[in-house]
Structure 1
Amino acid sequence: MEQQLDTLVIGAGPAGLAVAACLKKRGASCIIVDREAEVGSSWRRHYDRLHLHSDRDRSALPYLPFPAGTPRYPSREQVIEYFELYARYFELAPHFNEEVRTVRPCNPGWMTTTTAGVYHSRQVVVATGYNAVPYLPQWRGQERFRGRILHSSEYRSGESFRGQSVLVVGLGNSGAEIAIDLHEHGARVAMAVRGPVNIVPREILGVPVLAIAILLNRLPARFADALAAPLVRLTIGDITKLGFRKLPMGPFTQIKTRTRIPLIDVGTVKLVREGHIEVLGDIREMGEADVTFDDGRARDFDAIVAATGFRPRSGFFLAPPSDILDAEQPQPPSGGDKKSGLHHCGFIVSATGMLREIGIEAQRVADEITHLEHQPVV
């Protein structure tokens, strides 16, 4: 099957849905393809306890708010239901179970080969996200460890770990919430934290931290950090007294220079303070049942949950390989790439919330595409 079209959108997650809806609002058409069987597939694979860390009102995609009655921080199931509602509302019909094999420039436009056929399009939007491929590092002695080792993408609930000693590796938002879930299900929990961190509360004096971040994000990063620091200390306290090392930079500077989001705390710090979660350092080596850390301490564990992040998958199908997205630190495309008809949505790390940024970016991409569609083909 070969098909001619104006725009092909790769990915039926929030970024792909938002771009398609924005194009439709502007009178333009597109086809969405996704290798999975349903919208928002990555959200369906997350652990059961997951809730949005950004508030509902600032996390809706363009032109459609969350339904009335949705709590301030929607659950995983409520977010999935919202994506399904969004697709129905805008009458989006992605081509599911269709995996992209290659995306190549041609004259004019782009040729995309999938498991179902070939698309020739003037525009391609890569909306697969950078949380696509689980990253599981290898540790010294890992082959000797007799317990269970799983990536956070495989974790669903702490019920199967009840009564066990579990090490959570990584202090990102997933790792921190998984640690809470394990504790709530009766596991003995420790966290391996490799380096210095920033921790911010989900709310400050009842105000979602995202609302404060949106205001401060207009300022230079260091100035924003200086203004936010007293509020963070008021709500989080001195994290060095809990075994964490503090980054020498604030959260806004961290996001700008390292494209890494600080931990948005939803209760992990309280459990550490109360002694329910032990904070340990980086893993040096594993034995049959024990793990030795960089400070020489050793602990026995029944299982290890690696909340060690993901990598994008666009490098698997962009041919020749794209230099737009670095596997470690995804970057937004340059203006030259936009003019060529290759667009990305959902790869920007922002202090103002991933879903909010996706909505802004989707409208920008739709504006660029509808503008370019009126340009003559050279």
Structure 2
Amino acid sequence: MNPDDILVIGAGPAGLAVAACLHAAGLPYTLVEREAHVAATWRRHYDRLHLHTTRDLSTLPHGPWPTGTPTYPSREQVVAYLDAYAARHGISPRVGVTVEHVRRDGDRFTVRTDRGTLTPRVVVFATGTNAVPVKPDFPDLENFAGSVTYAATYRNPAPYGGKRTLVVGSGNSGAEIALDLAEHGVEVSMVVRGPVHVVPRDVLGRPSQATSILLSRLPIDVRDRIVGTVMRLAVGDLSRYGIRRPTRGLNRTIVEDGRIPMLDIGTVRMIRAGRIRVLPAVQRVHAADVTFADGRTLPFDALILATGYRPGLEGVIDGYGALSDDRGRPRVNGGLSGAEGLYFVGYGIAPTGVLRTIAQEAPRVAALVKRDVSA
């Protein structure tokens, strides 16, 4: 079999997991990556980042973590794990290759890249959900005179010392960046646009991820009643600080809205201590200040936009609109996508952990690919 018959796109955790599973199944493949290294996104993440899910529940197929790795590995430890994983499975991607367009032509695909054209029988997309930052639609954002950066390029608090900083967004990246700034004495505010569930990373010494997995066998409304009771006791009422709990349960908001809760690793403590100020939705940006939905206008020197990402596949895959949801994510991950020979791994909402979900999806896709190329 020719390795060019199977094309895997992306050498982050999902692409590496797929490559390892294909190798274990005895299937040669080609792996391409637009960056210069595997795990490029993890290499760029902010310095204080640790894996938000536990080591033991975040293991890729055929690749245990090294002995002595802490429960929540650091960014550097995740990068080292992925480097070692690639080496263990003989994964050598073609780096510096950007896929520009993919379309089906008969029994093969035509894949146009900036390094030439490929014609595989099967294509597996594993480029991740963080390809394109979502630009907020604030009026006059371009007129802000201070610094404006996206969460994807934030590294550490050093550039923000002495600056009144607004973090726009309260997802996991936004909440942790705000915490990082507060811990280093930066005057920081965080925008929480609407109701959001807040979940401590650990409750009574038990990882919330493990509890989520345990409860996942129950009906969704039963799960939400249990989680709601626990969160009221563990987190309490944060409405006086500007954080309101949604009327629908946590799992309902994940499944129906695609909204992952704020995973708290210390942000709530800083909010209660007055070290992080919570503000409502941004209404307008001016040269030196920002107006919010409650009518307040406050001065800021720096904005950090933690407003989410999209996979950015719309202009790459021919006919992608029929395969994707309204957030630009594939409707089916780790299974039959609806397009013959085309698969997606690692793009879904993962309430029990992204790496854990990738570890479940990659072997399934490898088995389907083997069926395709053996037909």
Scaled by the length of structure 1, the TM-score of the pair is 0.95
For 1:188-226, what per-residue CA distance to the aligned partner results, in whole angstroms no more than 9, with x for missing partners?
011111111011010111111100001111222221011
Partner secondary structure for residue 275 of structure 1: coil
Contact 2:3 2:30 in 1 (8 A): no
8 Å CA contact retained: 2:17, 2:60: yes
SS at match of 1:84: helix
Which residue number in structure 1 is paired with residue 360 of structure 2?
360
Change in Cα spacing, 1:232 to 1:329, as seen in structure 2 (3 Å) is farther
Task: Check the 8 A contact 1:217/1:252 in 2, yes or no.
Answer: no
Is the 1:161–1:185 Cα contact (8 Å) retained in structure 2? Answer: no
Amino acid at match of 2:36: A
- In structure 2, stretches of 5+ residues that fail to align are none
- Alpha-carbon displacement from aligned partner over 1:319-357 (angstroms, at most 9, x marks no partner): 244432346252333866467110000111121111100
Runs of 4 or more off by more than 3 Å in structure 1?
A: 334-339
Alpha-carbon offset, residue 113 of structure 1: 1.8
Residue 213 of structure 1 corresponds to: 212
**Which residue does 2:347 correspond to in 1?**
347
Aligned to 1:330: 329
Q: C-alpha separation between the residues in 2 aligned to 1:344 and 1:336?
A: 9
- State the distance in 2 between where 1:177 and 1:147 align: 22
Task: Give deviations 1:287-318, integer Å, cap 9, x for gaps.
Answer: 22111110112211111111011111222321
Q: d(CA) in 1 for partners of 2:255 and 2:326? A: 17
Deviates more, 1:318-327 or 1:168-177: 318-327
Aligned length: 373
The answer for the alignment partner of 1:139 in structure 2 is 138
SS of match in other structure, 1:48: coil
Equivalent pair of 1:221/1:256 in contact (CA under 8 Å): no
The residue that corresponds to 2:248 in the other structure is 249
The residue that corresponds to 1:17 in the other structure is 16
Corresponding residue number in structure 2 for 1:313: 312
Structure 2 distance, partners of 1:190, 1:113, is: 44
Structure 2 CA distance for partners of 1:154 and 1:339, relative to 1, 3 Å? closer
**Percent identical residues:** 45
Greater displacement, 290-299 / 233-242: 233-242
Unaligned runs of 5+ in 1: none
Question: How far has the Cα of 1:366 moved from its partner?
Answer: 0.7
Match of 2:6 in 1: 7
Partner of 1:99 in structure 2? 98
Matched, 1:108 2:90: no
Distance in 2 (CA, whole Å) between partners of 1:196 and 1:108 is 48
Amino acid at match of 1:57: D
CA distance in 2, matches of 1:37, 1:24: 22
TM-score, structure 2 as length reference: 0.95
Report the alpha carbon displacement of residue 4 of structure 1 after superposing the two structures with TM: 6.8
- Give the SS at the match of 1:196: coil
Matched position secondary structure for 1:315: coil
